[in-house]
């Protein structure tokens, strides 16, 4: 409905041949934030949830996975709120010197040189393209691409329909650069989760690694 990056709900009653605007889910009147990679699910009780990536229009960082909900069939929506547990990350301990980022040198408080690694491009999107999956037992799994070293695929789990969230879990952390993400997922008959996503690995091709569609199977405890 406007030129700003917003999340909106449309409806089709002819199997997708035409679409009608229903309402705006999320919009930032300041123009600083946009909402993209939106995905809609229904949880217990009929509540609709919209998962989205909050994106800084000026590429200044602060991008994060968010969620808004509706209890009236999508006519009105709550404010978008970040999901996950801020202030803790399992990714830090997985960062291996020399594998991610550009090498550099800084000095510690005693004046001694210390090797550093500066982030590569696409490093300000910690939870790119969040994808929600409601499991048969009611839990919600949200998968995303991590475009900050170490690059890879991760996820979150909610056991109370999105009220609170687990710490992040790492699905894999072996990508060569941040050009990755866009997961989709399904729950298999045996309870395992299969996810497919866009990925890359360092194979010396000179372009940051060959891009391909990858898949992983995992369980959540």
Q: Are residues 204 and 120 part of one domain?
A: yes
* Residue finishing a domain among 23, 55, 82: 82
Of 70-74, 126-130, 133-137, 160-164, which range is least confident?
126-130
Q: What angle do CA 141, 96, 213 make, to 5 degrees?
A: 45
101 or 91, which is more confident: 91
Q: Are residues 91 and 195 part of one domain?
A: yes
Give the other-Cβ count within 10 Å of 207's Cβ: 12
Domain that holds residue 71: 1-82
> How far is it, in rounded angstroms, from Cα 43 to Cα 38?
16
Residue 123 above 60 pLDDT? no
Residue 69 above 60 pLDDT? yes
* pLDDT confidence bin for 97, thresholds 50/70/90: low
Query: Looking at residue 204, what is its pLDDT?
Result: 79
C-beta of residue 148 within 8 angstroms of C-beta of residue 126:
yes
Q: Are residues 152 and 116 part of one domain?
A: yes
* pLDDT confidence bin for 1, thresholds 50/70/90: very low
Pair type for strands 48-56 and 33-42: antiparallel
Q: What angle do CA 49, 55, 59 make, to 5 degrees?
A: 175
Q: Give CA 12 to chain center in angstroms.
A: 27
Q: Are residues 195 and 152 part of one domain?
A: yes
pTM value?
Answer: 0.85
């Amino acid at each position: 409905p406007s030129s700003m990056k917003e999340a909106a709900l449309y409806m089709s009653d002819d199997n997708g041949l035409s679409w009608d605007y229903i309402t705006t889910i999320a919009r930032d009147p300041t123009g600083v934030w946009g909402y993209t990679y939106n995905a809609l699910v229904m949880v217990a009780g009929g509540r609709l949830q919209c998962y989205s990536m909050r994106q800084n229009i000026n590429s200044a960082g602060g991008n994060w996975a968010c969620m808004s909900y509706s209890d009236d069939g999508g006519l009105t929506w709550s404010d978008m709120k970040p999901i996950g547990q801020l202030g803790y990350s399992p990714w830090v301990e997985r960062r291996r010197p020399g594998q991610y980022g550009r090498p550099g040198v800084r000095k510690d408080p005693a004046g001694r040189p210390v090797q550093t690694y500066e982030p590569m491009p696409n490093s300000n999107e910690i939870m790119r393209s969040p994808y929600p999956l409601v499991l048969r037992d009611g839990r919600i799994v949200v998968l995303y691409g991590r475009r900050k070293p170490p690059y890879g695929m991760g996820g979150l789990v909610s056991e109370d329909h999105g009220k609170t969230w687990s710490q992040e879990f790492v699905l894999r952390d072996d990508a060569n650069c941040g050009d990755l993400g866009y997961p989709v997922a399904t729950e298999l008959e045996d309870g395992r989760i299969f996810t497919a996503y866009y990925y890359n690995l360092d194979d010396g091709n000179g372009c940051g690694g060959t891009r391909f569609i990858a898949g992983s199977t995992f369980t959540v405890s």
